[in-house]
Amino acid sequence: MNKSWFLLSLVTIGTTAQANIIIDDFSTGNYSYNTTVDTYTSQTGITAIAPTRYVAHDFVANPNARPIRTEVAGGKLFISTGVNVNAKLNFNYMASLKNSVPAQGSGLLGLSSFNAASPAIDISSESAFKFDYENNDQNNTMIYVYAWNSDFTAFNASAGYSVAAGNGSLTIPYSAVFTTVNPNSIGMLGFGVLAPTSNDITLTSVAAVPEPASMIALGAGLLALARRRRSK
């Protein structure tokens, strides 16, 4: 093999050496949920970072009794809110709901309703969360990430990050989330979507990934190595 091509190929290999950890690619756990008051639903046996997904529809304001609709289908999470709805949606991943807790119901569940992931979720090999999205209709849509430790005694959360309208991706670094919770020992991991003005958005993937800056540095280092080798 030509040495130059070999060294340049190391750049590509190196920049993809750390495989992303899928939080949820929405390929399993299909559901459709449409409500006009605070309610929750859940899906079990899913292929995600943990076997259960909890979905909460939280109305901050709903003067016209319009719905929040969420749906997982075709590898996508669809979020739609009605006219004049100010909504907060939460998606938690853990082992399961407690045996006495219905899979779906009115109101929102507290921490005592969940069983922590076992073994604990470990995403310590990565350094950021990445959200791929489509059809975000407003620039004031926001996403945040949160986590509890393995025994639910510590909780960390990021601030809300604005999502640009249209299609794209949003990256939230671990440094914005984790302070007292260790990313190698998470009992429940989640993210929230703030939809203050009847926002609609579709998520196609949520993953733990290397931060872009670290990948650029790695690629630059390998390119420098290739140049040195080629000059010899």
Distance CA 14, CA 217 (A): 11
- The CATH number assigned to the domain with range 19-209 reads 2.60.120
> Mind listing the pLDDT tens digit for each residue in 164-186?
999 999 999 999 999 999 999 99
Tell me the HSE value of 113 on the side-chain side, using a 13 A CA sphere: 16
Distance CA 224, CA 41 (A): 52
Give 66's DSSP letter: P
Q: 189, 207 in Cβ contact below 8 A?
A: no
> Mind listing the pLDDT tens digit for each residue in 6-16?
334 444 444 44
Distance CA 141, CA 146 (A): 17
Question: Which pTM value belongs to this model?
Answer: 0.86
Q: What is the mean pLDDT of the chain?
A: 90
**Other residues' Cβ atoms within 10 Å of the Cβ of residue 228:** 10
